[in-house]
Structure 1
Amino acid sequence: MGGPSTVEETHDFLKNLFSDNDLIPLPFQSILAPYIARRRTPMIEKQYADIGGGSPILRYTQIQGEGMAKLLDELHPDTAPHKPYVAFRYARPLTEETARQMKADGVTRAVAFTQYPQYSCSTTGSSLNEIYRRGKSGEFGQDISWSVIDRWGTHPGFIEAVAQNIEAALAKFPASTRSETVILFSAHSLPLSVVNRGDPYILEVSASVSAVMERLGQSNPYRLVWQSKVGPSKWMGPQTSDALKGLARLGKKQVILVPIAFTSDHIETLYELDLEYVKEARELGIETHRSESLNESPVFIRALADIAAEHLPYQMGLRCPGCVNATCGQQKDWFSRGGR
């Protein structure tokens, strides 16, 4: 999704987000999206101000991409040079800006590498739809060959990087009570209407959690919980906040929050987890620490290089059984033909 690098960019980010029918289908979207964005902008601007004046996601994504490309140059000189481009869905650099740059650079071979570890039609699907629309119209150039990395939530390098950060967080608790610490894996939630049409996100996040706990030797009690619900419709639960209240009621005193579906710090980690949920947990009498995001982790950056070097089509060709988005089918067909 990206994030506004400055507070002043917040409104445009929100307007782009609420205008995306793949992410948030709304009636009369062209009218409602600007209205909702205007209503929410003051509150979200304050949140970005509270975390330092904007989102750091672009900086971390650039660090990760540049580190990945450097490793690929060293490990796979036959396909060098490798160059990373960032194409955010709702914040600068937007896909259209990146397309112009790639065309100017004369790129002829590209890999669309989602930075959502787990696939959802609402997130990865929306970004690939945008690449498809602009690719089909020639905005990236006429002679460019595409392939896709659409999910990688159980890749051993990703799992190792997450597990190492959890171990560092666990070390903050006394050795005598460390094994009693509850690990709460928190992921961005989805509306149940999306889940019920066959979106694979819930299953794939669950698979990531299972792989991490296997790597940790099932060392602690754990649960998968969900955050960032928006609007009145029913979303996947339990919500992270409700889970913390429930753990307090059960007498649990130690918790680690793990951002399992985010690879870089941004508003959901720095504000929602750090400033809201950690504070709430401590008020409930629970000592709480957050596992660090992957950010500049060398283990994670090496994983990105390995994924890019070995990438396979995975589940790219299968639409959700309940899919009603015609663009999704056209996009998958377009990528299957290398962007032709």
Structure 2
Amino acid sequence: MALRAPFPQACWRLTARYTARYTAPVSPLPSQWRRGNATVAPPKPDTVQGANGPTAVVFMNMGGPSTTDEVGDFLSRLFADADLIPLGRLQSYIGPYIARRRTPKIQKQYADIGGGSPIRKWSEHQAAEMCKILDKTSPETAPHKPYVAFRYANPLTEDMYKKLLEDGFGQGKGGRAIAFTQYPQYSCSTTGSSLNELWKWRQRLEGKRATGEVEPEGSIKWSVIDRWPVHAGLVEAFATNIEKTLETYPPAKRDKVVLLFSAHSLPMSVVNRGDPYPAEVAATVYAVNQRLGMKYQYRLVWQSQVGPQPWLGAQTSDTVKNLLKKGQEDMILIPIAFTSDHIETLYELDEEVIGEDAKGHSGVKRAESLNGNPIFIEALADIAKTHLESGQACSRQMTLRCPGCVSERCLEQKKFFASQQQHL
């Protein structure tokens, strides 16, 4: 019950603000910026460095192959990651075998969606646009420099860290960097794995393994934004995309549409270990439905299961087929744990679930992904600004391990990021 009051009010304020901003009349360009029929962009002043700048903002995500030629390496890294897909003691043998077997099939899927994943394009766009906003709203920490670190595809975490060093961060020069997870809901399999990888390369390139010191003088000062499942701007962005899709149904059918919030599933072994992801995804779903006025029937469903072991269900594909059999023909799929389009939306939901399982039924649709949504990008900037103002290295939740966790790497990673508090 305690969750109910804040969200509708907060989202109502955001709706009013964003509506005013993005529906306002466009002012004509000054005459000095026009040449004949061509429009010339106004000069951009250099961002003044604030007292606490510059600040690197690193978007962390799973990533995806930008071309079909990158699929093999992407799958090899993915199936080698025991944090995401635990395969037991034989992971180093089974992982590469599965990757090789699946590569031709997955290459065809990427070919069917245009030859590669758009996740890098959207991540770089979101990071760059967010940093432009931060330069204005948080001038004391400007300039804000965007970086992207993918776990399984280019640009890899290792390459991102080397770029940070090349750009003048660390190596005796200090500087601040924020590890900003682009998984809104925390899981050890996603955010946890990305932070483990970041910590590993920090130790190799700038920590004790590189310099012989635990905290070398002038190293990068790190902080972490590790989760944001019910941020009002995130909720508003999802809700507005759902409302746009609802408007495509005839008014007589609109109130009977079922909303299916689809998220990447987890192995039950990870869930039973105490991973917070299922609860945090459910929190996002509930908050979005509060914003929609609880007017629609809905379910949280799960996709992208791999391998024979039990995974969290019910599966998205099975749910759609079963509802159609029961006479429910109008459904909207909402990718609630993804912040941009990639293989899970463009192929798995659009081609497999809607195209094959629903046989292209006109009543089964998907809400647009967040991608370049200005409400979402404003939300990212607000999250980062609030984090910068908090003075916190990481949330209290991040330092709490899963009840069944036995990973020493996870323990050391959490201890490292928590220890950064003394340097901020």
Q: In the aligned structure 2, how far is the partner of 1:35 from the partner of 1:239?
A: 26
Q: Partner of 1:253 in structure 2?
A: 329
Is 1:213 the equivalent of 2:278?
A: no
Q: In the aligned structure 2, how far is the partner of 1:310 from the partner of 1:64?
A: 18
Report if aligned partners of 1:248, 1:286 keep a CA contact under 8 Å in 2: no
Residue identity (%):
59
Q: In the aligned structure 2, how far is the partner of 1:91 from the partner of 1:232?
A: 25
The CA deviation string for residues 22-62 of structure 1, in whole angstroms up to 9 with x for no partner, is: 11222322222221111000000000000000000000000
**Deviation of the 1:201 alpha carbon:** 0.3
Is 1:84 the equivalent of 2:165?
A: no
Is 1:112 the equivalent of 2:173?
A: no
Report if aligned partners of 2:354, 2:360 keep a CA contact under 8 Å in 1: no
**What amino acid does structure 1 have at the position aligned with 2:196?**
N
Among 92, 100, 108, which residue is 1:30 paired with? 92
Among 317, 322, 327, which residue is 2:409 paired with? 327
**What amino acid does structure 1 have at the position aligned with 2:91?**
Q
SS at match of 2:153: coil
Q: Partner of 2:272 in structure 1?
A: 196
SS at match of 2:309: coil
SS at match of 1:235: coil
Matches within 5 A, 1:88-99: 88-99=150-161
Q: Partner of 1:2 in structure 2?
A: 63
RMSD: 1.5
Q: In the aligned structure 2, how far is the partner of 1:19 from the partner of 1:188?
A: 18
Matches within 5 A, 1:232-311: 232-283=308-359, 287-311=363-387
**Deviation of the 1:249 alpha carbon:** 2.4
Q: In the aligned structure 2, how far is the partner of 1:60 from the partner of 1:83?
A: 16
Q: In the aligned structure 1, how far is the partner of 2:296 from the partner of 2:356?
A: 22
Moved more, 261-270 or 276-285: 276-285
Q: In the aligned structure 2, how far is the partner of 1:176 from the partner of 1:286?
A: 16
Is 1:11 the equivalent of 2:89?
A: no
**What amino acid does structure 2 have at the position aligned with 1:138?**
L
Q: In the aligned structure 1, how far is the partner of 2:150 from the partner of 2:382?
A: 22
Is 1:52 the equivalent of 2:114?
A: yes
**Deviation of the 1:68 alpha carbon:** 0.4
Report if aligned partners of 1:248, 1:285 keep a CA contact under 8 Å in 2: no
SS at match of 1:83: strand
**Deviation of the 1:287 alpha carbon:** 1.3
Report if aligned partners of 2:137, 2:385 keep a CA contact under 8 Å in 1: no
Among 399, 417, 421, which residue is 1:317 paired with? 399
Moved more, 243-252 or 3-12: 243-252
Gaps of 5+ in 2: 1-61, 170-174, 211-215
Alignment size in residue pairs: 340
Is 1:128 the equivalent of 2:195?
A: yes
**Deviation of the 1:285 alpha carbon:** 5.1
Q: In the aligned structure 2, how far is the partner of 1:161 from the partner of 1:259?
A: 12
**What amino acid does structure 1 have at the position aligned with 2:311?**
W
**Deviation of the 1:286 alpha carbon:** 6.3
Q: Which has the higher contact order (CA 8 A, sep 6+)?
A: 1
Report if aligned partners of 1:60, 1:295 keep a CA contact under 8 Å in 2: yes
Q: Partner of 2:245 in structure 1?
A: 169
Q: Partner of 1:185 in structure 2?
A: 261
Q: In the aligned structure 1, how far is the partner of 2:236 from the partner of 2:100?
A: 41
Report if aligned partners of 2:321, 2:358 keep a CA contact under 8 Å in 1: no
Report if aligned partners of 1:14, 1:41 keep a CA contact under 8 Å in 2: yes
Q: In the aligned structure 2, how far is the partner of 1:295 from the partner of 1:52?
A: 17
SS at match of 2:125: helix
Moved more, 32-41 or 281-290: 281-290
The CA deviation string for residues 233-275 of structure 1, in whole angstroms up to 9 with x for no partner, is: 0000000011012211221110000000000100000000001
Change (3 A) 1:37 1:139: farther
